[in-house]
Structure 1
């Protein structure tokens, strides 16, 4: 027994050492820093690579990169604050946390941040330089203080000055000055607290904050796992929705949410590179002097409350350049805007020229959406996928949060880098995007190649033969045991037990006995999000992915992929036939259940297609408490096929995160936009109830069992005739029925999004009624 304990203590000790060492680093998947100065090592584990960085003598190692499949380790003196971070497949970047911190502990002798300006704004002189100032007593140099990190011109405190980090300046008249670096223990915020990461968890009125990952006492959509870039940790005050300052939901059932009292920092806020004549991305940095809207209305001065009352004031948004009546974007809208001096028009967007060669925002309909499959490497892919292969939400191409990059619409004007759509601007092997997960820089997307689509359709025609089903994957293919043994480029796989032409130790039948690696078949032993792979028999290509199709049909996954016309029923576009196979048409001549007829499998309102299925209604079950939802029991079951397929039901009480893309379909009122008689669709983002209940929106009309979705500027909406229709949201390559069209203030009006019954609040009722009436 004692002998067993001793044996067990060895791996446990190794795990503890690994955890302690690696905890010193921040990890980002899919990231790479191109550094001229580096050291390369061949090591078997990431822990060994971390140790190499910790004991590096050639330079100060601030980060390392590890490629597990190649067992390659590179230590470098740079990190993401010094050099640009690039994309690279299957590479993990590990950055030492101490070099990422931009605050000081005590007097800041351990400060390793990148601040390089003094209190008065003077630029720091490089520590190794002797001009314009010779170092103090010739002692403050990299050679005399090798552990003080004096390799650049960053503020440091090598001599233990009581006032904290300092530097010699490039001003000949000022030898040195202290730098104003925030204290790590100081609880303060810059601007509106968007980047506040402190630990205050009590509101200004004394309420304790509810944990962000909790749904009691208040149900909400600010889910940490879905909004990783918002840093919704524990129950700390945060500002995820552009409010004037951080807030939180409270633990009091009678107080849904409250602002937090957080003082402003005394150190200078992050500097914005001002754009004076044009706007990049959403125009957050625009500081020009345009003061009229796109329709020619004069803008209201931000500091006034006439004729429009509002809270977008210079005091509430101190870092947003709200001067006079100039167009600005203080709250993450899609472009600069302003309140207008027209009492009948609260606000409008402004037509600010776009920087670079790319045209400005399209004020008409967006380009038509194409198939969600691609040919070749997908350079010409123009589909509507906005999720990576592992289900992560894509970051907008014009955004620099959470990942800074240069793949912008201005740099790649012909790559169609709209919104956060998956694209391939740089000629990679497939469409991809940066993710909203701070720890995963980028991933390939879930769009599939045309070859797979054709293969899939052929398999359908062969009625799902056993041979086909055996050669498909579920999810990322971790359980795939099919016979494919060739990479996506047509190269034969090397046997997993072989060490030629490529040597490897991490992935063998012995190291992974339960992964089906007995031959040279494609497998996924490391749960790579991009799917099965193998080492290749090509001496110049160590490994590559394999082309394995996804398996089967399921709810929410139509055979005919929808166009996903996002952002334009009113202002929408005509759907592809049978791309929304859960859409039905309910017809009646009276209010008796037996007089109702349910029509399925049609695209036209006239319902004259051969695919049409008609079913009489046996029973109509109204929702509890006169809520705007009902169940229909058919006299006989519908036949499920490629034109009649249900959407998936959501998890109980699930609240869709804000910004999630959702779609409504219907044959309702189009107000002269065309497409009458054909099924139309439109897509728009979900709006959190907290925002939707603001006075300028729907002013506390939204109940917990309802949800909002729509474009704040109007232009697309469900309308009369669409009531009871589906609102489906796209996640994990599946459409989920999250809402039922209920009501709205007009159709497609600005600041008046549509209101839908929240289906997740009724899953227990739905299941119980199905059992009672089966």
Structure 2
């Protein structure tokens, strides 16, 4: 007989109960398979429609006193519970997949604080997150609570100062909670509210129309769909690299909302812009009108600064060195575009120190013609952490990592960490002021609240936080555990098929096919046939970023993670001795840990004098700069030294190699390949760096590192390998007139601090610029040139290696 699949979605992944599957099987295997497929497609369609109503954030949790708890099998069921909730207006729900636990709540991130909690996903109804109106706004559910004239709204349930006609009880479907602007009576002027002014009973609220294409301030938060520039050019898609290569990659800069080819402002320009589809026009501004509604208000800080000081509105008007600030509205002695007209909402009054463009602290242009700009000395709000402790000798953590002081800035899934002092994209209270002893510098992974490992908030708006890609320090295990320690995982352990079947707390795992002591439907050998779930071994069927796990045989603990060590080996870009990753400077001094940059080579004359750097990219191949080879094109004029920390190269680990061949880069580019007469011996002190993907452009703000024995200008550390780290600067920014004024070509890249102080210098030429990603250092640049060393607004320039990967590979193949 034919059975229509009308069962609930709770017991099986396809939405069929066991009983319904038994009935369906009576139709025969072929018909059953067809019906099952139809049911599966139906479930997918329903899931997509229902869940599209919600914005999902991984690792987020709202602590609400009012809530309803349900035990459900799928996230779709939880969404349906929220949609039909009768106890309150359900604005969001939280779902814990492994526990199959669903919590519906009346709050969302606009009403209550969002906390962090592992393995939990927060789903918020989009209609309650919108801060604009459709039509007359009867469906407006935002949080604006001030009227057109700036008066605060009275709570709808309150009877003072005005006795309302419309209350939560008289209009239960109008969402008259708190004092938010609403339109319960269909007023043609849109949302309104009773006011707290006894003389004015009610007023309309100025809420932007959802269909209105406009921007507030400089358009940093513009999310409209204009995709044509003011000069009529069509915008290039942000995820495209043709016709223009760029570093504004949507997947790496999720907080910038670089969608489709819509105009955006990811770099602090005066207004939104885009790269164009015209090869002759790299980028252009977009013509977007200013909104008539009230812009977001900044809680002004008058005597001190929090985070980067973007909210500082005090009256300090001198720089840290004592120079008077120039009035923002004037163009002498410094010409600039940081004017009150170009940067509204930034408080650019008189000559007061401000931070209109996301610098690291308030600054100003100076009245000294020789000094264009400087930072200001504005006091920090609250307790200020003392001097930062030195980095850990090894970039690993002990115990729960509360004392971890390493330099990792990336989560276990490869997401970039949000700065602790920043409130975007995630607002939080884990700040340097609240946790002064936790060393919450920059966006470094830390554990301020005693979690089980170092973590950070991420720059992905949909993932609130994650644990970091920092390893636990090795432990000396008894000999009887050697076999277990040899069992290891790669990455998050999605491919792990080892024999471990015990949680990190020593509890035996429940078999994946068993339903006792814990019932579960989401993760079984049938639902995930390719995940190796035949027994009770630890596995990672849902690609949990924290690694393999299992359901446990402890009735009081449904599931837990397993302690599976990472596999390690001598692979490119992964030094055995972890680098210090110092954000000091080569000019100014930061000595590297010996052999922590094992791909760094010293290019020398045949008499042994160091004059340039280079990077080992394969056992017999080194990458360097062409201008290092100007004195001679004969291989016999040079030699390469590997495996040393000192310029004197007296260590036993030293390897010397003569050159067999010099291969200059194509055209007039500053890149060259050196073939060694014999391959280097790869060990813990000599190791290649990894090459990047073809044409990959490093996103702006990425932390990268340069190393070398170059000029230190008398600041110490001479004769020892030194390092510095600084952010990549997108070519669009680097080519601004105040920076390098259109000198940077597509096959080059910029990196440095715009205030100066950290740079490569003479003697570092040809050496590596490596960037850290997924626990690996990738060679992204070859040190090429610069205007002086460590000068403000003059970052270093590097050959972009990703533009030459095809050339490198073809030359190695041709000359092997």
Q: 1:354 touches 1:360 (CA, 8 Å); kept in 2?
A: no
Partner of 2:255: 229
Partner of 1:577: 594
Partner of 1:283: 309
**Deviations 1:246-293, CA, capped at 9 Å, x for gaps:** 000111111111111111100111010000000000000000111111
Give the number of aligned pairs.
Answer: 739
Q: 2:735 touches 2:743 (CA, 8 Å); kept in 1?
A: yes
SS in 2 for 1:625: coil
Residue 490 of structure 1: how far off its partner (Å) = 3.3
Q: 1:369 touches 1:564 (CA, 8 Å); kept in 2?
A: no
Calculate the TM-score normalised by the size of structure 1.
Answer: 0.93
SS in 2 for 1:573: coil
| Change beyond 3 A, Cα 1:116–1:11 | farther
**Deviations 1:190-237, CA, capped at 9 Å, x for gaps:** 000000000011111111111101111111000000000000001100
Q: Distance in 2 between matches of 1:393 and 1:628?
A: 31
Residue 360 of structure 1: how far off its partner (Å) = 8.8
469-478 or 240-249, larger mean C-alpha shift: 469-478
What RMSD, in angstroms, separates the aligned Cα atoms of the two structures? 1.6
Q: 1:565 touches 1:572 (CA, 8 Å); kept in 2?
A: no
Residue 479 of structure 1: how far off its partner (Å) = 1.1
Residue 11 of structure 1: how far off its partner (Å) = 7.7
678-687 or 590-599, larger mean C-alpha shift: 590-599
| Change beyond 3 A, Cα 1:11–1:208 | farther
SS in 2 for 1:574: coil
Residue 501 of structure 1: how far off its partner (Å) = 3.6
Q: 1:370 touches 1:382 (CA, 8 Å); kept in 2?
A: no
**Deviations 1:15-47, CA, capped at 9 Å, x for gaps:** 100110000000000000000000000000000
Residue 505 of structure 1: how far off its partner (Å) = 2.6
Q: Distance in 2 between matches of 1:366 and 1:662?
A: 21
Calculate the TM-score normalised by the size of structure 2.
Answer: 0.89
Q: Distance in 2 between matches of 1:486 and 1:676?
A: 52
SS in 2 for 1:597: strand
Q: Distance in 1 between matches of 2:584 and 2:569?
A: 31
Residue 567 of structure 1: how far off its partner (Å) = 4.3
| Change beyond 3 A, Cα 1:768–1:671 | same
Q: 1:717 touches 1:754 (CA, 8 Å); kept in 2?
A: yes
Residue 358 of structure 1: how far off its partner (Å) = 1.3
Residue 675 of structure 1: how far off its partner (Å) = 1.1
Q: Distance in 1 between matches of 2:439 and 2:35?
A: 51
SS in 2 for 1:624: coil
Q: Distance in 1 between matches of 2:150 and 2:794?
A: 45
| Change beyond 3 A, Cα 1:9–1:96 | farther
Gap regions ≥5 residues in structure 1: 1-5, 447-468
| Change beyond 3 A, Cα 1:11–1:396 | farther
| Change beyond 3 A, Cα 1:432–1:129 | same
Q: Distance in 2 between matches of 1:768 and 1:717?
A: 32
Q: 1:567 touches 1:711 (CA, 8 Å); kept in 2?
A: no
Residue 368 of structure 1: how far off its partner (Å) = 4.3
| Change beyond 3 A, Cα 1:580–1:763 | same
SS in 1 for 2:108: coil
SS in 1 for 2:803: helix
Q: 2:493 touches 2:540 (CA, 8 Å); kept in 1?
A: yes
Q: 1:409 touches 1:415 (CA, 8 Å); kept in 2?
A: yes
Residue 141 of structure 1: how far off its partner (Å) = 1.4
Q: 2:153 touches 2:193 (CA, 8 Å); kept in 1?
A: yes
Q: 1:371 touches 1:382 (CA, 8 Å); kept in 2?
A: no
Q: 1:379 touches 1:424 (CA, 8 Å); kept in 2?
A: yes
Residue 147 of structure 1: how far off its partner (Å) = 1.3
* Structure 1 residue 7 corresponds to structure 2 residue 31: yes
Q: 2:639 touches 2:656 (CA, 8 Å); kept in 1?
A: yes
Partner of 1:344: 370
Q: 2:385 touches 2:432 (CA, 8 Å); kept in 1?
A: no
Q: 1:387 touches 1:731 (CA, 8 Å); kept in 2?
A: yes
Q: Distance in 1 between matches of 2:220 and 2:453?
A: 34
| Change beyond 3 A, Cα 1:477–1:246 | same
Residue 359 of structure 1: how far off its partner (Å) = 4.5
**Deviations 1:524-562, CA, capped at 9 Å, x for gaps:** 011111110112333433222122222433211111110
397-406 or 471-480, larger mean C-alpha shift: 471-480
| Change beyond 3 A, Cα 1:564–1:8 | farther
Partner of 2:528: 512
Q: Distance in 1 between matches of 2:747 and 2:386?
A: 39
Residue 706 of structure 1: how far off its partner (Å) = 0.4
Q: Distance in 2 between matches of 1:157 and 1:651?
A: 54
Q: Distance in 1 between matches of 2:389 and 2:215?
A: 38
**Deviations 1:726-771, CA, capped at 9 Å, x for gaps:** 0000111111000000000000111100000000111111111111
Paired residue for 1:567, among 584, 592, 603? Answer: 584
Q: 2:273 touches 2:284 (CA, 8 Å); kept in 1?
A: yes
**Deviations 1:41-79, CA, capped at 9 Å, x for gaps:** 000000000000000000000000000000000000000
SS in 2 for 1:301: coil
Q: 1:81 touches 1:100 (CA, 8 Å); kept in 2?
A: yes
| Change beyond 3 A, Cα 1:8–1:529 | farther
SS in 1 for 2:667: helix
Q: 1:123 touches 1:169 (CA, 8 Å); kept in 2?
A: yes
580-589 or 85-94, larger mean C-alpha shift: 580-589
Residue 422 of structure 1: how far off its partner (Å) = 0.4
| Change beyond 3 A, Cα 1:195–1:369 | farther
Q: 1:496 touches 1:509 (CA, 8 Å); kept in 2?
A: yes
Residue 613 of structure 1: how far off its partner (Å) = 1.1
| Change beyond 3 A, Cα 1:99–1:72 | same
207-216 or 547-556, larger mean C-alpha shift: 547-556
| Change beyond 3 A, Cα 1:538–1:16 | same
Q: 1:369 touches 1:565 (CA, 8 Å); kept in 2?
A: no
Q: 2:418 touches 2:443 (CA, 8 Å); kept in 1?
A: yes
| Change beyond 3 A, Cα 1:388–1:335 | same
Q: 2:587 touches 2:761 (CA, 8 Å); kept in 1?
A: yes
495-504 or 634-643, larger mean C-alpha shift: 495-504
Partner of 2:541: 525
670-679 or 538-547, larger mean C-alpha shift: 538-547
| Change beyond 3 A, Cα 1:354–1:70 | same
Q: Distance in 2 between matches of 1:8 and 1:313?
A: 70
Residue 100 of structure 1: how far off its partner (Å) = 0.4
Q: 1:485 touches 1:521 (CA, 8 Å); kept in 2?
A: yes
Q: Distance in 2 between matches of 1:250 and 1:360?
A: 47
Residue 10 of structure 1: how far off its partner (Å) = 8.0
| Change beyond 3 A, Cα 1:17–1:288 | same
**Deviations 1:679-705, CA, capped at 9 Å, x for gaps:** 111000000000000111111110111
SS in 2 for 1:662: strand
Q: Distance in 2 between matches of 1:224 and 1:9?
A: 40
Residue 470 of structure 1: how far off its partner (Å) = 6.2
Q: Distance in 2 between matches of 1:588 and 1:567?
A: 30
Q: 2:458 touches 2:466 (CA, 8 Å); kept in 1?
A: yes
Q: 2:193 touches 2:204 (CA, 8 Å); kept in 1?
A: yes
Q: Distance in 2 between matches of 1:385 and 1:486?
A: 29
**Deviations 1:404-441, CA, capped at 9 Å, x for gaps:** 11111111111001000000000000000000011100
SS in 2 for 1:82: coil
Q: Distance in 1 between matches of 2:563 and 2:377?
A: 45
Q: 1:571 touches 1:682 (CA, 8 Å); kept in 2?
A: no
**Deviations 1:325-363, CA, capped at 9 Å, x for gaps:** 1100000000000000111000000010000011499xx
| Change beyond 3 A, Cα 1:141–1:625 | same
Q: Distance in 1 between matches of 2:772 and 2:399?
A: 25
**Deviations 1:301-346, CA, capped at 9 Å, x for gaps:** 1011110000000111110101111100000000000000111000
Q: 1:353 touches 1:360 (CA, 8 Å); kept in 2?
A: no
| Change beyond 3 A, Cα 1:129–1:563 | same
Q: 1:572 touches 1:716 (CA, 8 Å); kept in 2?
A: no
Q: Distance in 2 between matches of 1:8 and 1:579?
A: 61
Residue 500 of structure 1: how far off its partner (Å) = 3.7
Gap regions ≥5 residues in structure 2: 1-29, 38-43, 470-484, 607-631
SS in 1 for 2:597: coil
Residue 572 of structure 1: how far off its partner (Å) = 3.9
Q: Distance in 1 between matches of 2:416 and 2:395?
A: 16
